[in-house]
Amino acid sequence: MRRVSVFGATGSIGCNTVDLLRRQGGAGAFDVVALSGGHNIALLAEQARDLNAEIAVTAYPEHLDDLRNALKGTGIIAAAGDEAIAEAAARPTDWAMSAIGGYAGLRPGLALLEHGGVLALANKESLVAAGPLMLAEAARHKATILPVDSEHSAIFQALVGEDINRVQRLILTASGGPFRDWSAERIARATPEQAMAHPNWQMGQMISVDSASMFNKALEMIEAKEFYGVGAERIEVIVHPQSIIHSMVAFIDGSIMAHMGTPDMRFAIGYALNWPERGNLPVAPLDLAAMGRLDFEAPDEDRFPALRLARRVMAMGGLAGAVFNAAKEVAYDAFMARQIGFADMAVYVERALDSAESRGDHNATTFDLDNVIGADRAARIATREAIGLRQAS
Ligand code: NAD
Ligand code: MG
């Protein structure tokens, strides 16, 4: 039986992953090693019992007693904290899902790569902050990274049997989010509640807000550059409000391969779970006649400056991705806490890039975890300071 783990099991991607594991036979078909979660202990314990996991870990030590109680009598190990998550990730698996939200997914992702096998990577932040390190670790341990972001899974599927040197450009589709046709003035006044309401996809809170600001697409541009190793000039974004085409690859002969389907992340998770084969997935078939039409429009980098900032990050290179992601996460927290406005997020991220560039923080002769951690920490401190927040202890 395949040994599998799911990190971030209680989140949006995690629940969809657990759903597919169950549909494909659950505890009878998979040897489930580790499941990790956060505050939702009841859900984590229910998943761990149902899949008969070896170990369940919550990120938060204050929930350890609750988790232990919920797992009493099952023989499933309960653990808590960042170290425990890293240790659980070090347990050998054949297939693992990295779906912790944000920068916190980096260390478990690196630990998962150490035992080879397949890493289904939803955590885009680890590629943005530490792409060269993730790829080097994968090569060193003969691990395979399969992208789970819908755009990158679409591109991966369009590239099967193809030569990346024959690719003219990667075309990432973007829904445009809830503010696609809003004026700049209205966007600037947007509230967290408005930003969280994504028109097409059911996702976690941070990625929903990042979709509204198009920071999500910015992260994905960098993710594409890191993962596929193509230059920034070969990465294009097109707004496609229906989210039916999940992304495209344009080849040098003028052909464009598009991946289409209903907006349901289980297509990408299931592709990674069954790779290199295709499994039967519970994804609703696409009714093209009912759909009627597909629309496209150019993205507006004035109303959505995150896209412009992504190009700057790609031009800066080095540790600029780590700076960008860290500043974005701090600005996101401040926006959600109503300490800054929606449009201010891009302002503070740009400022973090300015100061990193003027100090040369993004330059690194070697690309290792210490450098990434240093760049991340410096950018968080600088951004909190710029916003006027007290430093986290
Ligand atoms: P989510 O917020 O729904 O779930 C996040 C999971 O990570 C939860 O299990 C939570 O408990 C855990 N977690 C949060 N903070 C943690 C921390 N500090 N330490 C350890 N665990 C922590 O998020 P999501 O929408 O499922 O997204 C997860 C990842 O997948 C993100 O990197 C996101 O960008 C990516 N992704 C998500 C979607 C989607 O449709 N939701 C699509 C593409 C990519
Ligand atoms: Mg995506």
Q: 322 with 352: CB under 8 angstroms?
A: no
| pLDDT value, residue 329 | 98
Q: What residues does CATH 3.40.50.720 cover in the chain?
A: 2-147
**Range 37-42 average pLDDT:** 98
Q: Over the chain, what is the mean pLDDT? A: 97
Q: Which residues line ligand 1 (CB under 6 A)?
A: 8-14, 36-38, 59, 85, 99-101, 104-105, 122-125, 149, 201, 203-205, 207, 265
Nearest CA to ligand 1 atom 36: 122
How many other CB atoms are found less than 10 A from the CB of residue 257? 18
* Protein fold of 2-147: Rossmann fold (3.40.50)
Burial of 260 (0-12, 13-18, 19+ CB in 10 A): middle
| Residues in CB range of 338: below 8 A, 6 or more apart | 192
- Measured CA to CA, the distance from residue 200 to residue 241 in angstroms comes to 8
| Residues 254-306: tens digit of each pLDDT | 999 999 999 999 999 999 999 999 999 999 999 999 999 999 999 999 999 99
Specify the 3-state DSSP secondary structure of 99. Answer: coil
- Class in CATH terms, 317-387: mainly alpha
Tokens representing residue 59 in the block = 């990120």
Q: What pTM did the predictor assign?
A: 0.98
- Measured CA to CA, the distance from residue 268 to residue 20 in angstroms comes to 11
Question: What separation in Å is there between the alpha carbon of 71 and the centre of ligand 2?
Answer: 34
Of the candidates 223, 182, 224, 191, the one whose C-alpha atom is nearest the C-alpha of residue 209 is 191
Label residue 224 by pLDDT band (50, 70, 90). Answer: very high
| Residues 314-355: tens digit of each pLDDT | 999 999 999 999 999 999 999 999 999 999 999 999 999 999
Question: What separation in Å is there between the alpha carbon of 237 and the centre of ligand 2?
Answer: 12
The atom of ligand 1 lying closest to the CA of 219 is: 34
| pLDDT value, residue 102 | 98
Of the candidates 363, 366, 362, the one whose C-alpha atom is nearest the C-alpha of residue 379 is 362
Q: What residues does CATH 1.10.1740.10 cover in the chain?
A: 317-387
Phi and psi (nearest 5°) for 298? -70, 145
- Tell me what percent of the residues of the chain surpass a pLDDT of 70: 100
| Residues 74-126: tens digit of each pLDDT | 999 999 999 999 999 999 999 999 999 999 999 999 999 999 999 999 999 99
How many other CB atoms are found less than 10 A from the CB of residue 365? 6
Specify the 3-state DSSP secondary structure of 382. Answer: helix
* DSSP, res 320: H
| Residues in CB range of 290: below 8 A, 6 or more apart | none
Q: 287 with 227: CB under 8 angstroms?
A: no
Strand pairing class (30-37; 55-58) = parallel
**Range 172-196 average pLDDT:** 97
- Measured CA to CA, the distance from residue 292 to residue 157 in angstroms comes to 25
Of the candidates 231, 257, 235, the one whose C-alpha atom is nearest the C-alpha of residue 246 is 257
| pLDDT value, residue 78 | 98
The atom of ligand 1 lying closest to the CA of 9 is: 9
